[in-house]
């Protein structure tokens, strides 16, 4: 387990005002949020040990896995505010990790692409992320991890990286 991370203890709940269905929704919301934070923190700490940033890795990962995207889609996919992402992209562009150009489909938008240097940086940093995630998921068996991936894949399909199911119509 990654240093400083603690496993969540079962919480005794007060009666829900909306019944069992609402209590289940509340618990799922809380558990998914805590699990995301656990994974993110574990990966971030392992990257920081190498002098890398989780924010940089997330952007490079998305671009390597999904190809060029607009800044807006990239911000959505990485749960970043567009202004904060814009500042990060300026830094990544200055380091030669990404390029930005007008989107040929809509010249008002910027299309972000990973460079060969950015892909190399992503590949070098990825084992730290995998180590952090592996540590964070240490309580799960390999089969439970596969099952979790399948369940999450139903909720958040991999083929829709930049838009939620609710936005696709």
Read off the tokens for 100.
Answer: 């930005």
CATH of 20-136, one of 3.40.190.80, 1.20.1250.20, 1.10.10.10, 1.20.120.1780: 1.10.10.10
Question: What is the model's pTM?
Answer: 0.77
Annotated domain spans of the chain: 20-136
Q: Please say whether the beta carbons of 82 and 109 come within 8 A.
A: no
Contacts for 61 with CB less than 8 Å, ≥ 6 apart: 122, 126, 129
CA distance 88 to 80: 10
Report pLDDT digits (tens) over 34-70: 999 999 999 999 999 999 999 999 999 999 999 999 9
* pLDDT interval class at 95 (50, 70, 90): very high
CA distance 156 to 164: 7
Q: Please say whether the beta carbons of 96 and 117 come within 8 A.
A: yes
Report pLDDT digits (tens) over 104-116: 888 888 899 999 9
- Tell me the Cα Rg of the chain: 18
């Amino acid at each position: 387990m990654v240093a400083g991370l603690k496993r969540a203890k079962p919480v005794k709940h007060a009666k829900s005002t909306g019944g069992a269905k609402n209590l289940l929704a509340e618990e799922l919301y809380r558990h998914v949020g805590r699990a995301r934070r656990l994974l993110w923190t574990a990966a971030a700490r392992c990257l920081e040990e190498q002098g890398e940033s989780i924010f940089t890795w997330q952007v490079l990962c998305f671009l390597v896995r999904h190809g060029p995207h607009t800044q807006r889609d990239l911000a959505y996919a990485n749960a970043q505010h567009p202004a904060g992402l814009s500042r990060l992209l300026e830094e990544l562009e200055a380091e030669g990790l990404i390029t930005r150009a007008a989107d040929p489909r809509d010249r008002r938008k910027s299309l972000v692409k990973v460079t060969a240097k950015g892909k190399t940086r992503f590949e070098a940093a990825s084992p730290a992320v995998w180590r952090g995630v592996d540590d964070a998921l240490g309580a799960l068996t390999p089969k439970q991890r596969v099952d979790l991936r399948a369940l999450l894949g139903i909720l958040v399909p991999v083929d829709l990286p930049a838009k939620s199911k609710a936005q696709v119509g």
